[in-house]
A and B are shown apart, each in its own frame.
Chain A
Amino acid sequence: MTGRGLRRHLDDLVAGRRPRPFRATPDEADELRTAIELRAARPGADEPREGFVDGLHARLAAELGATGPAVVPPSTGAGSGPLRPVGRRRLLVQGAGLAAASAAAGVAVGHALTAPGDAADGSGTITPAAGVWQTVAATAELPEGAVQAFDLGTVAGFVHRVDGAVRAVSGSCTHQGCRLRLDTARNLDCPCHTTVFALSGALITHQLPVAPPPLPAFETREVDGAVQVYAPQA
């Protein structure tokens, strides 16, 4: 028999309400996926609601107001202009999005973050005086050529495998500590001053008066199917 959580979730789905969370078994997840596929197959079901596209545009304009001239979309309802005060709901949504995206894609937030764990002079290997080996990925998640972002709280970085060996470099720019992000060319981009590093840590391009040092590396090892870096404890 279907569990009560799934039944209720399906009832919400059909009624167009936000489905309530429940602890799903793998079988229940399969059933839910099938139900979702059927819901999404209804003609026109995936049409964005009228007002949603303009409403989100206005929210984004408010968020990004400082970065450029925001165009007020025509015919949005009262209170959805670009200068609408920041609501709690929006902050929550944004926070979750940024955190989630940062975790997997190495997405940088547009603020300068200084990473206290990184040596300011850059280059070389980070060997903390009081570090511990910490797992940042499973060996299975890191085949040859793969890259994974990690964030241990004290330090963040990118781990990758090249020629069978695991390497990890700091994920903070050596200029002002901005969070680096992985780009589609598999380089690490700094959003603050358009500096670009290779996964090896080497500087590729920069527009600064003085070239920033290369990214420092972490000591790495693989134990029992886990990829670990030696880093200070959070």
Chain B
Amino acid sequence: MPTGEAYADWEAVYRDNVDRVYRMMFAKVGNRPDAEDLTAEVFLAVLRPLRVSASVGEVRAYLQATARTVLAGHWRRTLGLEVTTLDDEHTATAVVEHAATAAPPARTRAILAALPANYRRILELRFLDSCSVAEAAVALGVSTANAKVLQHRALRRAAQVAQEVRP
């Protein structure tokens, strides 16, 4: 919808934005139960006081601001700290520009490609293929305890690489 126009009613606001808000939330929390709750939280907070005369652009800006606040509250509750690193400025643009992608985004591929082979392998097994630690250990031919250590080191390293590959 052109951003200068207005929505007909709250249902139009919802139908036009629910998919993008959900996908943005999923990108931020990586799991469905939290993504669903946070999406509901955003719309419940936004729709009630919404002016019908607000333009599409204004509504989306308002959704973005609310989504950021809702996420900040989520991380405060979940991790016990103000995790601004988990709710960076990408959130805002993500709501507007997020598009479905068929393959892991280039950024994720770049991070994985920069890792040593065993680090890359355990992250793929765990987080892309959804293996348990025990299953990943079998696939790698190491003990479960070793797989835990490997996962930790691989995540540490990947987190460092991710800082450098920021889009």
Chain B residues, CB < 8 A from A233 = none
CB distance from B128 to the nearest CB of A (A): 6
Contact status B10-A67, CB under 8 Å: yes
Chain A residues, CB < 8 A from B19 = 48, 53
Contact status B11-A41, CB under 8 Å: no
Contact status B30-A35, CB under 8 Å: yes
Closest to B61 in A: A184
Contact status A13-B30, CB under 8 Å: yes
Chain B residues, CB < 8 A from A24 = 79-81, 83
Q: List 24 A-B contacts (CB under 8 A).
A: A14-B130, A19-B34, A21-B77, A21-B78, A26-B81, A34-B158, A36-B29, A36-B30, A37-B107, A41-B104, A42-B128, A46-B23, A47-B100, A52-B36, A53-B18, A56-B14, A94-B44, A97-B44, A100-B41, A100-B72, A101-B46, A101-B65, A110-B48, A194-B51
Contact status A63-B44, CB under 8 Å: yes
**Complex alpha-carbon distance, A22 and B77, angstroms:** 9
Chain A residues, CB < 8 A from B43 = 56, 60
Contact status A1-B149, CB under 8 Å: yes
CB distance from B81 to the nearest CB of A (A): 6
Across the A-B interface, give the 9 residue pairs with the lowest CB-CB distance, nearest first: A36-B30, A97-B41, A39-B30, A38-B127, A100-B73, A41-B104, A24-B79, A97-B45, A18-B33
**Complex alpha-carbon distance, A38 and B124, angstroms:** 8
Total number of A residues with any Cβ neighbor in B under 8 Å: 74
Residue B132 CB within 8 A of the other chain: yes
Chain B's interface size range is 35 or more
Contact status A37-B162, CB under 8 Å: yes
**Complex alpha-carbon distance, A13 and B159, angstroms:** 17
Contact status B51-A189, CB under 8 Å: yes
**Complex alpha-carbon distance, A52 and B18, angstroms:** 10
Contact status B31-A16, CB under 8 Å: yes
Q: Of A2, A47, A52, A107, which is within 8 A of B152 by CB?
A: A2
Contact status B101-A48, CB under 8 Å: no
Contact status B10-A29, CB under 8 Å: no
**Complex alpha-carbon distance, A119 and B165, angstroms:** 53
CB distance from A74 to the nearest CB of B (A): 13
Chain A residues, CB < 8 A from B149 = 1
Q: Of A30, A43, A109, A191, which is within 8 A of B101 by CB?
A: A43
Residue A104 CB within 8 A of the other chain: yes
Contact status B33-A30, CB under 8 Å: no
**Complex alpha-carbon distance, A52 and B37, angstroms:** 10
Contact status A101-B48, CB under 8 Å: no
Provided the pairs A14-B126, A24-B80, A33-B86 are in contact, do residues A64 and B33 lie with their beta carbons within 8 angstroms? no
CB distance from B150 to the nearest CB of A (A): 11
CB distance from A21 to the nearest CB of B (A): 5
**Complex alpha-carbon distance, A68 and B7, angstroms:** 14
Residue B5 CB within 8 A of the other chain: no
Residue B1 CB within 8 A of the other chain: no
Contact status A30-B159, CB under 8 Å: yes
Residue A40 CB within 8 A of the other chain: yes
Q: Which residues of chain B from 35 to 79 have any CB-CB distance to chain A below 8 Å in the complex? A: 35-37, 39-49, 51, 57-58, 61-62, 65-66, 68-70, 72-73, 77-79
Residue A142 CB within 8 A of the other chain: no
Chain A residues, CB < 8 A from B131 = 14
Residue A57 CB within 8 A of the other chain: yes
Residue B92 CB within 8 A of the other chain: no
**Complex alpha-carbon distance, A35 and B58, angstroms:** 33
**Complex alpha-carbon distance, A24 and B149, angstroms:** 18
